[in-house]
Amino acid sequence: MNNQMLGIIDACTTTSSLQPLTFYRSIAAVPFAGRYRLIDFMLSNMVNSGVQSVAIFPKDRYRALTDHIGSGKEWDLDRKRDGLFIFPPVKNDLKLEDPSLIAQFRYHIDYFLRSKQDYVIIANSYTICTIDFNQVLKRHVAQGAVVTSVVNGNTPLNIYIINKKALLDILQNETQDFDTITELVHYLSSSSKVITYEQNGYLSQVDSLEAYYKASMDILSAETWKQLFLRTRPIYTKTKDEPPTRYAKTAVVKNSMIANGCVIEGHVENSIIFRGVKIGKGAVVKNSIVMQKGAILENSVLNYVVLDKDVKIGSHEELNGEPNLPRVLAKGTVQGALMNS
């Protein structure tokens, strides 16, 4: 069933529940697991399922997203035929509200009309899982469905396979408009066959700070890692050349994920450390997430804390959150006095 499916990633979702991590970026571009962005998982799932044409529909704050995705080279989508498409939102000066995702589909209808694929995957950008869309399509075709909704238990995941003809019929009828894909699917269910596909294995929908922190800590479990990062279905991401991390004699590291380019002189436990982070001598970082180019100077203590990119913590500082409510510092924050470091 290779190349029978178009991939559509809805990167329009906005929520205040992930702030301050989404002050400067969309949910799709939120950093995750030391070196990835949230969108990497769904995009990789599509590519690993043989999808050769993927369109991403962002809404706002998408500079970080476009910088990360680039030409799609890391996902083998920088190709002459099909490939990766990013369709920025279309603004209407006569309307104050933002256009719906369906309105954006309609504006870019040529993308659908020119494609030769018969089925369309429409998925959000913030679900962490490993899914084989070929298996979803197999059930979809066998059941003669028009729409297949991927669920986990009784919970819809806002991931669908839709017959392209049915989608085009709606897009070409401008009297029909829907704010969300869920509304469109509900409309189709009144006259077309809609079925479900049960997604098993590890799954997290990262739509709040609590969900982000829990999913990040889950990654430190070997069992979760085995379910998400399969040799046969790798998660691709933008590659960056960094030197190996340097561990000083004073470094202590327990049950943590540490990316390249770091300097570790202190104690790190049950934590995720992104690229280029410096943790000074005597510093203690537990149950925390430190994003790219962060710095924690000497003798500071962090527990249940999330530091966004470029956050600097001075020496002898103490920051504490709670297991279910981590303390989050926004991008570029400077906490405490910074000496020459």
Residue 237 covered by a domain? no
Q: Do 323 and 195 fall within a single domain?
A: no
Residue 48 covered by a domain? yes
How much is the average pLDDT of 60-88?
Answer: 93
Residue 173 covered by a domain? yes
Q: Do 60 and 169 fall within a single domain?
A: yes
CA nearest to 97, candidates 59, 56, 133, 130: 59
Q: Do 12 and 151 fall within a single domain?
A: yes
Flag whether pLDDT at 119 surpasses 50: yes
CATH of the domain at 132: 3.90.550.10
CATH of the domain at 310: 2.160.10.10
Q: Do 128 and 14 fall within a single domain?
A: yes
Residue 235 covered by a domain? no
Task: Give the structural domain span for 185.
Answer: 5-228
Flag whether pLDDT at 143 surpasses 50: yes
Last residue of a domain, one of 169, 193, 228: 228
Q: Evaluate whether 55 touches 108 at the Cβ level (below 8 Å).
A: yes
How much is the average pLDDT of 79-92?
Answer: 87
Last residue of a domain, one of 228, 257, 291: 228
Residue 177, judged by CB atoms within 10 A of its CB (0-12, 13-18, 19+), counts as middle
pLDDT band at 92; cut points 50, 70, 90: low
Residue 240 covered by a domain? no
Which tokens sit at 87?
A: 């369709």
Q: Do 259 and 292 fall within a single domain?
A: yes
Q: Do 161 and 75 fall within a single domain?
A: yes
Residue 105 covered by a domain? yes
pTM (2 decimals)?
A: 0.94
Number of domains in the chain: 2
| Per-residue pLDDT, 341 | 45
Which tokens sit at 159?
A: 């991931």
